[in-house]
Amino acid sequence: MPATDRNVLDGLASWRTANEWRVLRELCDFLSLRNVAGEPGHMRENCAWIRSALERRGARTELWRSAAEPEAPPAVFGELNVGAPWTVGVYAHYDGQPADESHWTVGPWTPAVFSDRIDRGGVRLALPKAGETLGDDCRVYARSASDDKTPVVALLAALDALRDAEAEPAVNLLVFIEGEEETTSPHLAEHIAAHRDAMAAADVWLFCDGPADTFGRRHVAFGVRGDVELELTVWGPGHELHSGHWGNFVMNPAMELARLIGSLKDAEGRVLIDGFYDDADAFSETELAAAHEADGLDDALRRQAGVGRSEGGNAEPYFSRMLRPSLNVRGLEAAGVGPRARNVIPDAARASLDIRTVRGSDPHRLVEALRDHARRMGFAVLDRAPTEAERDEHARLLTLVELDSYPAVRTDMNDPAARWALLAVERAAGEKLLRVPTLGSSMPMHAFAEGVGKPVVITPMANADNNQHAADENIRLGHFWAGVRMLATVLTSRGG
């Protein structure tokens, strides 16, 4: 019979009691498969596991491989068509970050359950037996426990809960699970272009990736900022020189790099590159209202960051700042400091920058604006190391290299499908959630927005203290089961 959110969700607590032992074993089984991004050899096992798990729940599955690079990790596409007028897509990824096993308490691919965070005194527990449950504060430790295998198993559990309630979903389901998110999803656009009709069958796509309570409250997000990464090198003498013998005679590239970087922002944090803010799309009244809902979180966010004052002062709230582009220095390098310091003029000085863009900002145009800014400061700007002739010709030489980039995306918060997803997720949570117009981080949402043309809503489920990308990554069980409830609610919410 068709499901309703009540006849499934009202029984979810008792279903957890009866089935947690089985669900956690399935989660640990999946987490035990090595899945390091950039190591395609292990990905076949992960794909086979996902396909088998989906097909046992009645889904039709396909493996999508890159025509340009057939050995790249494939994407798993799944479809569960119940003949409903409304279709929901769920995105997740199965690849994870590399792991230095020497820093893990147990092991990155040896899933282990603890009674709490290990650094809070949590002790290792056995997996529950049939009919047993663990507390919400218990954690499963393993690589990709939070980023991003948990949503896959949470979806499987939600489907099982419906089956055991003898209820079928109220919506059709599409699933897209890729294996390259941690390496910037190089073949995602290709997959979408090759299978656009299949992907566009969803009325809305849910991105189940990331922590749910980064800001101290659970949230739903409607966009992400774009990103462009840059490497800058200011060239000095052909080799390091003694600073006493050559100081005042040979230009110091570290001083010139500092002068350049210092010119990029004023004391209040505003970027001074001409035209930097020009292309950003205007914010809707709905977005501005949502941004101001979080005004009261700023003090807690400053405490979390360990700062007493926001850049430029405390008047502007956090989420309003996310609605405009930013420029950041990721790292600086020139000769050495501390015990490594020497009396030298370095031969070069380097900086790594990132620009976070917002919808409407063209990453490549912003890079060109930065090049023009450097030229106005007297630099000859190259995209490679200089030749000897160029060293003789120019007093100031800068190499600027653009690395990876992708644009920002924002889903219209008033889009009917996006609002449907929001209301379903809020029903699952039992409260109004923080509505985030744009997250400061980035994910491959742009490929869906550009290639599929359907709204995307970010519905994360991991705990904020999950040690994402680090040693002892974990998922808190209370967050995992909230994710199950969220997906079960989505599957039982009638759309259209």
Candidates 79, 51, 85; CA nearest to 198 is 79
Q: What is the pLDDT of residue 5?
A: 58
Domain identity same for 389 and 413: no
Res. 298: pLDDT tops 50: yes
Q: What is the pLDDT of residue 291?
A: 84
Domain identity same for 349 and 445: no
Q: What's the domain range around 371?
A: 226-280+324-405
Q: Do 461 and 428 touch, CB atoms closer than 8 A? A: no
Collect all residues with Cβ–Cβ distance below 8 Å to 263 and sequence separation of at least 6.
272, 373, 377
This prediction's pTM: 0.90
- Total of domains in the chain: 2
Q: How many CA atoms lie within 13 A of 487 on its CB side?
A: 32
Q: What is the pLDDT of residue 49?
A: 98
Dihedral of the CA atoms 427, 430, 431, 434 (nearest 10)? Answer: -60
The rounded mean pLDDT for the chain is 94
One-letter amino acid at 195 equals: H
Domain identity same for 216 and 248: no
Mean of pLDDT values over 67-74: 95
Res. 2: pLDDT tops 60: no
Is position 473 within any domain? yes
Domain identity same for 362 and 462: no
96/30 Cα distance (integer angstroms): 12
Is position 194 within any domain? yes
* Model confidence band, residue 304 (pLDDT cutoffs 50, 70, 90): confident
Q: Find the CATH number of the domain harbouring 213.
A: 3.40.630.10
Q: What is the pLDDT of residue 283?
A: 86
- What angle in degrees, to the nearest 10, is found between the helix axes of 12-31 and 150-164? 140
Stretch (H or E) spanning 403: strand 397-406
Q: What is the pLDDT of residue 113?
A: 98
Domain identity same for 232 and 349: yes
Is position 290 within any domain? no
Domain identity same for 156 and 130: yes
Q: Which of 405, 425, 450 is the last residue of a domain?
A: 405
* Model confidence band, residue 6 (pLDDT cutoffs 50, 70, 90): low
Q: What is the pLDDT of residue 8?
A: 73
Collect all residues with Cβ–Cβ distance below 8 Å to 165 and sequence separation of at least 6.
3, 7, 8, 11, 15
Six-digit token string for 87:
């279709």
Domain identity same for 141 and 259: no
Is position 417 within any domain? yes
Res. 3: pLDDT tops 60: no
Q: Which residues pair with 345 in a beta bridge?
A: 241
Domain identity same for 116 and 58: yes
> Sign of torsion, CA 208 220 214 447?
positive
Domain identity same for 194 and 240: no
Q: What is the pLDDT of residue 406?
A: 83
* Model confidence band, residue 9 (pLDDT cutoffs 50, 70, 90): confident
Comparison of pLDDT for 455 and 496, the residue scoring more = 455
Which tens digit of pLDDT belongs to each residue from 101-148?
A: 999 999 999 999 999 999 999 999 999 999 999 999 999 999 999 999
Question: For 38-47, 269-278, 371-380, 478-487, which range has the lowest pLDDT when averaged over its residues?
Answer: 38-47
| 160 three-class SS | helix
Q: Which of 371, 405, 439 is the last residue of a domain?
A: 405
Which tens digit of pLDDT belongs to each residue from 231-289?
A: 999 999 999 999 999 999 999 999 999 999 999 999 999 999 999 999 988 889 999 88
Domain identity same for 52 and 162: yes
Domain identity same for 337 and 473: no
Mean of pLDDT values over 64-80: 97
Is position 294 within any domain? no
Question: For 8-17, 171-180, 247-256, 365-374, which range has the lowest pLDDT when averaged over its residues?
Answer: 8-17
Question: For 47-61, 352-366, 432-446, which range has the lowest pLDDT when averaged over its residues?
Answer: 432-446
Q: Which of 352, 386, 405 is the last residue of a domain?
A: 405
Which tens digit of pLDDT belongs to each residue from 447-467?
A: 998 899 999 999 999 999 999
Q: Find the CATH number of the domain harbouring 244.
A: 3.30.70.360
Q: What is the pLDDT of residue 1?
A: 43
Is position 110 within any domain? yes
Is position 431 within any domain? yes
Question: For 178-187, 316-325, 379-388, which range has the lowest pLDDT when averaged over its residues?
Answer: 316-325
Is position 108 within any domain? yes
One-letter amino acid at 172 equals: N
Res. 10: pLDDT tops 90: no
Q: What is the pLDDT of residue 387?
A: 97
Domain identity same for 154 and 251: no
Q: What is the pLDDT of residue 156?
A: 98
| 147 three-class SS | coil
Mean of pLDDT values over 417-445: 92
Candidates 468, 495, 482, 493; CA nearest to 157 is 482
